């Protein structure tokens, strides 16, 4: 007998790991008859997949739960049931408190237990009280998640390769909500990627809280690092692009750096958070690297892959940060040069060591002033990097439609958003685009379809043969040109 279809809405907060987790939750629930819905209204199950990194994250969740309670009551009045669940890092950190403050919630579960969703749903439907599951199971969830039959992810997809963190930065809750560092086996990752490519994925982003701390078991029985894993993934026919995030300076080893110069499919973009340019603040953060350590790593990366674009994270106003410390951060930004970056005012996370640091706390006005200075400098660098690509031809993976009719959107090798007039048949393909407009946040261009494109393809293939490919071109560009000009 066929399973009745039910509507599932998942609202995802925060990081790309949560985006990946939400997709796998949908896969786990599909055999129970749940299919994705576009909105919470009318859904049979709503999951809030939460993030604990941003300030006031918990309060945003409780506000959303208040709105969902009204919808739950409306369904109950019609004789129907809406299951409400809170997942992710807020759930892990505040499981019992969520149930106490929002008793209409049916399930609360952490990021390591969603493979047990069928059992949790059964318990919730039986109505034996709210289900809380915030354990760190002995078995890995990845060993128990669906393989064959997983939902196709599209042209660009995420693959989780590593979870958890052993670094214990004093400002961060991740070690407490995601647990210790764990790496999936290379065999699992390769199999999952092959399935994705067979379903139309041409670009993958390898995910991890400290992705370059990856140390999974290889098919040969040895331990593979991220560089070795990337080389094996690059051998998968049809996989044109590989990215990874988020990396830590302490785990940026020489083999991974060499891979940037040796693997054409590895895109010339690295997100490498530094947080501060002051050695004193970095020590207080327990980062275990100095500002000059960071500079040396960047120099090595750029020597291996000329033209590589760098992104980073910055926290301003950390407890005890002086004017001299802040000046060191501005100096590092100026020295390194970033194509993009994220920057935030420090805000205390309950339970972290930094939350107890009372000495030297800055006022909100001081933090805001410093944040504005950092963001102004970073925005100037981002505009300059984007403007430097005007007139060049960039290989763009079109992965979605734009706001306007006949427009497609995609990403350049350097991770910039690019829009261009293009037919839908180019969706899911890596296409040469001549950049004609540049702003701080995106690029505009026109698809190259003339004989010039074929000449540039020959040049790209020469780069591929030399194992450098600075523009991140894919091996199947000529086929794309032939289709475009047919």
pTM score, whole prediction: 0.79
Paired with 420 in beta bridges are 408, 445
Report the pLDDT averaged over residues 187-216: 95
Confidence bin at 286 (pLDDT 50/70/90): very high
- pLDDT, tens digit, 9 for 90 and up, residues 386-419: 999 999 999 999 999 999 999 999 999 999 999 9
Output the DSSP codes for 147-202: -TTPPP--SEEEEE-EE--S---TT--HHHHT-S-EE--HHHHHHHHHHHHHTT--
59, pLDDT greater than 90: no
Rounded Cα distance between 256 and 263, Å, is 10
Contact (Cβ atoms closer than 8 angstroms) between residue 465 and residue 450: no
Report the pLDDT averaged over residues 114-139: 78
pLDDT at 148: 55
pLDDT at 201: 95
pLDDT at 116: 84
146, pLDDT greater than 80: no
pLDDT at 122: 86
The two structure tokens encoding residue 444: 């505009």
Q: How many residues does the chain have?
A: 486
Confidence bin at 481 (pLDDT 50/70/90): very low
Rounded Cα distance between 57 and 35, Å, is 27
Among 81-95, 264-278, 414-428, the minimum mean pLDDT is found in: 81-95
478, pLDDT greater than 50: no
């Amino acid at each position: 007998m066929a399973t009745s279809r039910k509507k599932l809405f998942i609202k995802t907060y925060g990081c790309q790991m949560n985006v990946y987790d939400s997709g796998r939750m949908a896969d786990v629930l599909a055999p129970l008859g749940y299919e994705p819905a576009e909105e919470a209204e009318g859904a049979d199950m709503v999951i809030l997949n939460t993030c604990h990194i941003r300030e006031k994250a918990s309060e945003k969740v409780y506000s959303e739960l208040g709105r969902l309670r009204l919808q739950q009551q409306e369904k109950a009045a019609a004789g129907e049931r809406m299951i409400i669940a809170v997942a992710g890092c807020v759930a892990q950190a505040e499981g019992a408190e969520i149930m106490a403050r929002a008793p209409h919630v049916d399930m609360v579960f952490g990021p390591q237990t969603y493979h047990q969703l069928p059992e949790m749903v059964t318990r919730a439907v039986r109505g034996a009280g709210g289900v809380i599951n915030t354990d760190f199971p002995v078995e890995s969830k990845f060993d128990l998640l669906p393989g064959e039959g997983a939902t196709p992810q599209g042209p660009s997809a995420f693959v989780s390769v590593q979870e958890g963190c052993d670094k214990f930065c004093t400002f961060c809750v991740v070690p407490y909500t995601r647990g210790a560092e764990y790496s999936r086996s290379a065999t699992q990752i390769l199999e999952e990627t092959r399935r994705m490519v067979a379903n139309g994925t041409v670009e993958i982003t390898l995910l991890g809280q400290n992705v370059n701390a990856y140390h999974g078991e290889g098919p040969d029985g040895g331990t593979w690092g991220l560089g070795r894993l990337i080389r094996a993934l690059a051998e998968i026919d049809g996989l044109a692009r590989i990215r990874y995030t988020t990396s830590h300076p302490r785990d940026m080893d020489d083999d991974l750096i060499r891979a940037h110069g040796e693997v054409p499919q590895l895109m010339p973009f690295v997100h490498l958070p530094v947080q501060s340019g002051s050695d004193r603040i970095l020590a207080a953060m327990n980062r275990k690297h100095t500002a000059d350590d960071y500079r040396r790593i960047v120099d090595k990366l750029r020597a291996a892959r000329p033209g590589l674009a760098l992104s980073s994270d910055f926290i301003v106003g950390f407890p005890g940060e002086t004017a001299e410390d802040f000046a060191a951060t501005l100096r590092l930004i100026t020295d390194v040069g970033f194509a993009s970056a994220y920057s935030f005012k420090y805000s205390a996370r309950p339970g972290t060591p930094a939350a107890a640091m009372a000495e030297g706390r800055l006022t909100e006005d001081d933090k805001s002033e410093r944040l504005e200075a950092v963001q102004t400098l970073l925005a100037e660098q981002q505009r300059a990097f984007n403007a430097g690509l005007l007139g060049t031809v960039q290989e763009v993976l079109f992965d979605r439609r734009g706001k306007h009719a006949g427009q497609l959107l995609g990403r350049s090798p350097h991770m910039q958003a690019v829009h261009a007039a293009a037919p839908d048949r180019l969706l899911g393909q890596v296409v040469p685009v001549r950049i004609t407009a540049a702003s701080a946040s995106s690029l505009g261009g026109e698809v190259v379809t003339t004989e010039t494109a074929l000449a540039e393809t020959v040049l790209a293939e020469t780069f591929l043969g030399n194992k450098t490919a600075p523009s991140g071109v894919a091996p199947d560009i000529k086929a794309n040109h032939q289709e475009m000009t047919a």
